[in-house]
Amino acid sequence: MPDVPPLRATPLNSVHRALGARMVDFGGWDMPVQYSGVIEEHRAVRTAVGLFDVSHMGEIEIRGPEAGLLAEYVTTNAAARLQAGQVHYSALLYEHGGFVDDILVHKVAGDHYFLCVNASNQDKDFAHIRSANRFDATVENVGNRYAQIAVQGPRAHATLQKLTPVDLGSIRYYWFADGEVSGCPARIARTGYTGEDGFEIYVPPADAARLWSELLEAGREFGVKPVGLGARNTLRLEAKMALYGHEIDASISPLEADLAWIVKLDKGDFIGRGALLKRKVSGLRRKLAGFEMRGRGIARDGYEVLWNGAPAGWVTSGSPSPTLNKNIGLCYLPAEVAHPGQPIQVMIRNQPVDAVTVETPFYKRAK
Amino acid sequence: MFPENFRYTKEHEWVLAEGDTATIGITDHAQQELGDIVYVDLPKVGARLEQGVTLGSVESVKAVSDIYAPVSGEVTEVNATLADKPEALNRDPHGAAWLVKVKLSNPAEAEGLLSAADYQAYIGAEK
């Protein structure tokens, strides 16, 4: 028998079990996939507020006089153009242009950047950034110093405001503030992975369980629900947010993944820039597209996609959409047909089932 | 919890045999494990089922799960309400949300399946 490392647990593990969550192995982490039910949890986030334990996510800090230069060199987005207190979505790439990971970059100060990275990629990301560090900067893996709780939904603001003196109204979308929540030091970012307004708060692990129960109490009047990975996936899919290992991985570039907006080719040199410039000139072979099923059936990750009756791509994510009551998905298609209105078919249990490419995101909240 | 007059499989189907006909469904344990059921794929009337072979599938938001025929026979009736209301499987898997009725080709087959007590013990041990 090969040695299987024990699952890693977040500081909220026993809280999830006490809530009756169904737990699963998620990339080596023992995580809640659902509490009351995926659809109910999904709807709570779209209409009220949901709480997510995302403490498995990794955090990496870049500090020092040339922290900005290192951040600029290892990420695709224009880290140097961030202001202190601002966040943006970005990517770490290999020289060949494929994804190491997709990340959030927070600029704390000119000499201090705070990166939030995917749980299962954190060690790889840390090694990647460190190996690229030829600057006067230090790189530190600080994942163990933070628990992370996401408060998401139209009532997230009202819920969280009850527990913090920080004026949340002054934090704009994709900005953050350092302050206190329930008396514990917290980094409060107005970011999320649901397509709703909301906050992601980074707190000391020792305070996580108390904070979680206080947030549940604060949100009770709004109908707050704890939300597991099942609904996290349907929420992000409706908002067409990429998931590493599905829409993106080492073999996919941000241009193919419809993420050209996080690539600033004009900002100067960064890892992967040369490969992306080449691909831009030679043209893309494939591109990410959204689709809706027209026939009966649910497309699932990895299913083959046909165009004009012939194999043309694959489904990266597919699911029923609880908000739209349709079966939706994302897939890779030849670039020339990866635009809305194309009839395609998805192979479901050896049967081609009709679908059509559509505009994305599938869901956009009313502002 | 699990009706005494049903027989059960380790794949979490149930069968209620009455003479040479039988009703087939999935167990309450199966629906709980699946979570919100959003799609059910069933055979057509006239289809021949073979014990242990896939007869269809049931899908939750998260996953697809095959349904295996607990007994062999010919499908005589399909629960048409499940096409529009698959969520009924979460509410009444042992009753209104049965899947198919069959004319048994070998009525003795059902005898070899698990009793309610054996199934209860099996899922207890599975956990």
Look up residue B108 and give its DSSP letter.
G
Find how far residue A323's CA is from the centre of its chain: 19
In this complex, do B62 and A320 lie within 8 Å of one another by their Cβ atoms? no
Question: pLDDT > 90: what percent of chain A?
Answer: 96
- B54, B62, B127: best to mutate for the A interface, most A CBs within 10 A: B62
Tell me the C-alpha distance between B64 and B38, whole Å: 10
Look up residue A123 and give its DSSP letter.
H
Structure tokens at A195: 């397509």
Confidence of residue A281 (pLDDT cuts 50, 70, 90): confident
Instruction: Please state the rounded mean pLDDT for residues A96-120.
Output: 98
Contact, A79 vs A110, CB < 8 A?
Answer: no
Could you give all domains of chain A from N- to C-terminal order, each with its CATH number?
13-55+146-238 (3.30.1360.120), 58-144 (3.30.70.1400), 260-358 (2.40.30.110)
Closest CA to A226 of A238, A206, A237, A211: A211
Closest CA to A350 of A313, A304, A315: A304
A1 SS3 class: coil
- Chain A residues 311-350 with a CB less than 8 Å from chain B: 319-320, 322, 327, 349
Stated as kind and residue range, the H or E segment containing A32 is: strand A29-34
Instruction: Please state the rounded mean pLDDT for residues A110-135.
Output: 97
Stated as kind and residue range, the H or E segment containing A315 is: strand A310-321
- A22, A234, A298: best to mutate for the B interface, most B CBs within 10 A: A298
Q: Is the pLDDT of residue A349 over 60?
A: yes
Contact, A164 vs A188, CB < 8 A?
Answer: yes
Contact, A60 vs A240, CB < 8 A?
Answer: no
For residue B35, which residues of chain A lie inside 8 Å, CB to CB?
Answer: 22, 34, 37-38, 230
For residue B59, which residues of chain A lie inside 8 Å, CB to CB?
Answer: 298
pLDDT tens, residue by residue, A26-45:
989 999 999 999 999 999 99
A5 SS3 class: coil
Q: Is the pLDDT of residue A251 over 80?
A: yes
Q: Is the pLDDT of residue A4 over 80?
A: no
Residue B66 contacts A where some CB pair is shorter than 8 Å = no
Structure tokens at B65: 């799960």
Confidence of residue B126 (pLDDT cuts 50, 70, 90): low
Instruction: Please state the rounded mean pLDDT for residues B72-80.
Output: 97
pLDDT at B1: 84
ipTM > 0.90 for the complex: no
* Residue environment code for A253-268, b if the CB has 16+ CB neighbours within 10 A, otherwise e: bbbbbbbbebbbeebe
Confidence of residue A1 (pLDDT cuts 50, 70, 90): low
Architecture of the domain made up of B7-113:
Beta Barrel (2.40)
In this complex, do A38 and B41 lie within 8 Å of one another by their Cβ atoms? no
Contact, A346 vs A293, CB < 8 A?
Answer: yes
Closest CA to B70 of B96, B98, B95, B32: B98
Q: Is the pLDDT of residue A344 over 80?
A: yes
Q: Is the pLDDT of residue B121 over 80?
A: yes
pLDDT at A243: 98
Who among A22, A319, A349 is closest to B61 (CB)? A319
Closest CA to A105 of A91, A93, A121: A91
Closest CA to A318 of A226, A258, A233: A233
Q: Is the pLDDT of residue A5 over 80?
A: no
Name the average pLDDT for chain B: 95
What are the extents of the domains in chain B?
Answer: 7-113
Who among B41, B62, B83 is closest to A230 (CB)? B62
Kindly report whether the global pTM for this prediction surpasses the value 0.90.
yes
Q: Is the pLDDT of residue A83 over 70?
A: yes
Q: Is the pLDDT of residue A199 over 70?
A: yes
Residue B59 contacts A where some CB pair is shorter than 8 Å = yes
Q: Is the pLDDT of residue A358 over 80?
A: yes
Name the average pLDDT for chain A: 96
Residue B62 contacts A where some CB pair is shorter than 8 Å = yes
- Torsions phi, psi of A103, nearest 5? -145, 165
Tell me the C-alpha distance between A113 and A125, whole Å: 15
Give the number of beta-carbon pairs within 8 Å between A and B: 36
In this complex, do A349 and B41 lie within 8 Å of one another by their Cβ atoms? yes
